[in-house]
Amino acid sequence: MKKKLLLIFMFPFIVLNFIVAQSIDKVEPLFWWCGMKNPELQLMVYGKNIGEYRPSINYPGVFLKGAISLESPNYLILYLDVANAKPGTFDITFTHDKKKITYPYELKARKESTADIHGYDSSDVLYLLMPDRFSNGDPSNDQPPMKGTYKVDRKEKGSRHGGDLLGIENHLDYFDDLGVTAIWLNPVLENDANRGSYHGYFATDLYHIDRRLGTNEDYVRLIDKAHKKGLRVVMDMIFNHIGPLHPWVLDVPAKDWFSVSPSPRGNHAKEIYYDNYASKYDSDVMKYAGFNVDVNQANPHVGKYFIQNSIWWIEYARVDAIRQDTYPYADFDMMREWNIQVMNEYPQFNIVGEIWTNYTIGTAWWQKGSKLNTGKDTELKSVMDFTLMGMASDVFHDKSPNGRLSKIYEHLCYDFVYPNINNLLRFLENHDTDRYLREMPTDLRAYKQGLAFLLTIPGTPQLYYGMELLMNGTKSAPGGDGNIRLDMPGGWAEDTQNWFVRDGRSAIQNEAWDYVHTLLKWRRGNEVISAGKMIHFMPNLGVYVYERSLNGKSVLVFLNGADKEVTLPLDRYTEVLHGKTKGTDVITKRSIALEKNLVIAAKDVLILEM
């Protein structure tokens, strides 16, 4: 008899829960916090015909400012003012005719401090990695059921390979031992797509980690453990486009939710922003074509959604910085507002935009405070030096008698156009470019020169996973992008090689690792390199010389670009020698005499502490 009474008593709740499940699929953000500087909260409610319902809220300090029904009846956008709200869970009641649905929503208490969110600066070295290709810590999450059809096959370069967050977590000691100070993960949000979208750039849920990589809780734990080791974490985001299986694509909220291009093929002509003669046609093609499903950030509801999403991940997961993909393709005004609002909540934060241009001036136009931009300031703190990446491999591998280091010298001559050179991200390769090493090297002279240069010039350096172990490849070879996104040997239980340990590597790989390790450990905390001024000299006899100095300390760098031994007269460098006649080589610890001449071996590099 008691069991029957219990069932009768529970029946109304069973029915109500059934209605909720049928009518409200989810609400985004998943929860929010009290005490944000911006008191406005947008809630995007998903559910069948929810747009026909009228919401109400009765909770102290929460004021419902408005409810927006969209063209699709299955969305409803609420705008709340939570300026005076206290932490707790309140009910949002949706009514339509005689139907009533109640949805509980939580406001959490913010942490008292954001000191654990560090940002990054020029004292850091970022290590970029692709989670699917780095290490498989949990094989049980390799192939969960998804809407899209895909397979896990390590023999296919375009398939999923099974790397995940736990695999990264298991190697935090590796990053710390190597000497990098921050890890940048290619996108980790859900990519439910045919073929699996192993790279992460076709998001289908902006509030959940892809289940093949782990869970939201796994992501938070990874960041917490990274922080405890002194490592910062950069989150990769994409506002410009989403995947074709995103709910917004399957059920379009409104006709202006996406951008429409006059041409299906993108021109990628980022110059249109500062081209006095650019046509509207070319501008629209650049902004709205060339990627998967182009989202219209100029729609104020879309813009607000993306801004909140970033703040949500920062507050929830404590990420230190954001790298924004395809930055110029998104709406300029929305991205400007995004930077303002994020930095208002987290002044120490850093955002770097992917500004892929071939010219320094074009890149500098995008940095906050640029005098080249005579219109609205972008408010974007950091930009990326693709120009250096584009020339570095050819310049340092050049085998002509006098080399081509003059190109590198000339490139740095244009650093004056950047409002803040320390917030320029410098790199030799990344996940979209040919590897710095096109093939496995037989000697490391060009390799060492490129890395020495990267790690001693002004700016913030970034390495790409495997560079420290001589990963090589080009996109033009069969397999395309897969050639530059190879698995890290040793990251899978079945691997016969393990590059994470010394015994699993070749002699030349260990030589490379030792070189990078020594440079990174020396650079860590070295303010002469991260904050010092620079003086450089036009290459002479193929040798490029520059000084970094701060507070009476100095470092001299000699790069011999010539494919021959050079006897370099030192009389032209007296202003940086400061009367000193010797220096200590950072790598070998040898004392190097600096008197009348300096003999430098072919393609050699010396980094001397004076």
Q: Which residues are annotated as catalytic?
A: 325, 354
Our separate counts of H helices and E strands in the chain read 16, 28
* Token representation of residue 572: 């032209």
Burial class (CB in 10 A: 0-12, 13-18, 19+), 241: buried
**Pairing of the two strands 582-585 and 605-609:** antiparallel
With a CB cutoff of 8 Å and minimum separation 6, the contacts of 122 are 422, 423, 458, 459, 460, 530, 531
How far is Cα 284 from Cα 387, in angstroms, rounded to an integer? 25
Q: CA of 80: how far to CAs of 35, 183, 257, 273, in Å?
A: 14, 36, 22, 35
3-class secondary structure, 290: coil
The tokens 């747009």 sit on which residue?
51
Under a CB-based contact definition with an 8 Å cutoff, are residues 325 and 381 in contact?
A: no
Candidates 399, 507, 412; CA nearest to 446 is: 399
Residue pair 162/498 in contact (Cβ under 8 Å)? The answer is: no
Expressed in percent and rounded to 5, the helix, strand and coil fractions of the chain are: 30, 25, 45
CB 350 within 8 A of CB 343: no
Two tokens, residue 531: 């904050």
Shortest CA distance to 178 belongs to which of 429, 487, 521?
521
In the structure encoding, which two tokens stand for residue 221, read together? 């734990």
Amino acid code (one letter) for 198: Y
| Amino acid at site 312 | W
Q: Which tokens sit at 242?
A: 């989403």
Q: Which amino acid is at 366?
A: W
Residue 5 CB coordination number (10 Å): 9
DSSP state of 87: S
Report the alpha-carbon angle 98-254-272, nearest 5: 160
